[in-house]
């Protein structure tokens, strides 16, 4: 077990989200990861913590449009010129390349988002070197970021970049060319990850999430979305009702894991959100710490190299408790 952590994330301190036309305090704060890190340092996993490696930003162009990266850089430079407190908000879609008004660009956004991606890429590299399980403490999160758009507090798609890195570094898999599966367990559908791989058959995307009738984002994550072209059948969405507790969630998880086993991937990337924890401010499910241990046990039973990439979850205590339980389940 290895855990990758980068203190650079603390530089990302968005102040404001514009929610339903009103400014509110932004929930993606450094305490999300710092609380996890502090608990892990006091746990049996303390010796597993390590720093990330550094990667050239040009690697981001394997997943994201060059014009989009230039957009993030240009808006960040504008904010740097305005002062340390400045935040840029999207106004018009698609010109402003944002799905919402909750994902402001700050002076250091591109740099810090790339550092988060580096945490995930480091985890992928460790899997390629034979590590069986890696937990990448990524912040900002990534699964809402598409090829050319940000949203849902996400700027670069950490899980997608890691999956692509695994494919590029992997050799021939016993059942054919290298393949990856992504299991998205955030309460919000990973619209960005789905769109990136929607027409590909080398990445299976499986997601358990809140039904878009009530959960963000409202335009994607429906069960009938199954992929297109060569990717037909390689997207598997299970939208779940508000108030979902373990019994219903476990049944959906087992269906997803069965689908993953049939895909026979060389590696599994888990986009792990803890906003499924009961009481999360942006949640709606009723999972508890022990349930994340059960998730880890079920994932471990696949006997695949696993990269866990942190996504959402906005209650620090839940993030910490869920992380510890998940790691215990994965380790056995």
For 2-331, CATH gives: 3.40.800.20
Pairing relation of β-strands 2-4 and 49-50? parallel
Of 12, 144, 189, 263, the active-site residue reads 144
Query: pLDDT 10s digit of each residue in the chain, 332 long?
Result: 999 999 999 999 999 999 999 999 999 999 999 999 999 999 999 999 999 999 999 999 999 999 999 999 999 999 999 998 999 999 999 999 999 999 999 999 999 999 999 999 999 999 999 999 999 999 999 999 999 999 999 999 999 999 999 999 854 444 456 899 999 999 999 999 999 999 999 999 999 999 999 999 999 999 999 999 999 999 999 999 999 999 999 999 999 999 999 999 999 999 999 999 999 999 999 999 999 999 999 999 999 999 999 999 999 999 999 999 999 999 98
Neighbours of 168 (CB within 10 A): 12
What span, in angstroms and rounded, lies between the C-alpha atoms of 58 and 100?
A: 26
Give the model confidence (pLDDT) of 38-50 as tens digits.
999 999 999 999 9
What span, in angstroms and rounded, lies between the C-alpha atoms of 211 and 215?
A: 6
Asked if 12 is an active-site residue, the reply is: no
State CA 86 to chain mean position distance.
26
Region of residue 150 (phi > 0: left; psi between -120 and 50: alpha; otherwise: beta): beta
List strand residue ranges (DSSP E) for the chain, in order. 2-4, 16-19, 22-25, 49-50, 133-136, 180-184, 203-210, 235-240, 267-272, 306-310
Give the model confidence (pLDDT) of 118-163 as tens digits.
999 999 999 999 999 999 999 999 999 999 999 999 999 999 999 9
């Amino acid at each position: 077990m290895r855990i990758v952590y980068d203190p650079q994330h603390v530089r990302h301190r968005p102040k404001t989200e514009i929610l339903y036309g009103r400014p509110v305090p932004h929930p993606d704060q450094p305490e999300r990861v710092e609380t996890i890190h502090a608990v892990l340092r006091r746990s049996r996993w303390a010796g597993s913590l390590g720093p990330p490696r550094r990667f050239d930003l040009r690697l981001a162009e394997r997943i994201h449009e060059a014009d989009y990266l230039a957009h993030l850089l240009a808006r960040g430079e504008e904010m740097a010129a305005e002062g340390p407190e400045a935040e840029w908000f999207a106004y018009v879609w698609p010109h402003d390349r944002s799905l919402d008004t909750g994902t402001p660009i700050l002076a250091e956004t591109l740099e810090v988002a790339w550092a988060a991606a580096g945490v995930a890429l480091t985890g992928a590299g460790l899997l390629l070197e034979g590590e069986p399980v890696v937990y990448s403490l990524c912040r900002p999160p990534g699964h809402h970021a598409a090829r050319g758009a940000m949203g849902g507090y996400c700027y670069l798609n950490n899980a997608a970049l890691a999956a692509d890195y695994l494919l590029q570094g992997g050799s021939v898999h016993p059942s054919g060319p290298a393949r990856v599966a992504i299991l998205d367990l955030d309460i919000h559908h990973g619209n960005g990850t789905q769109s990136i791989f929607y027409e590909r058959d080398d990445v299976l995307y499986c997601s358990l999430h809140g039904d878009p009738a009530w959960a963000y984002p409202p335009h994607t994550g429906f069960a009938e979305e199954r992929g297109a072209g060569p990717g037909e059948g390689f997207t598997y969405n299970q939208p779940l009702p508000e108030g979902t507790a373990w019994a219903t969630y476990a049944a959906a998880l087992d269906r997803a894991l069965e689908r993953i086993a049939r895909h026979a991937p060389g590696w599994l990337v888990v986009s792990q959100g803890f906003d499924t924890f009961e009481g999360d401010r942006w949640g709606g499910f009723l999972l508890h710490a022990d349930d994340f241990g059960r998730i880890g046990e079920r994932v471990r039973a696949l006997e695949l190299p696993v990269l866990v990439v942190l996504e959402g979850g906005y209650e620090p205590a839940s993030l910490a408790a869920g992380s510890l339980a998940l790691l215990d389940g994965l380790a056995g």
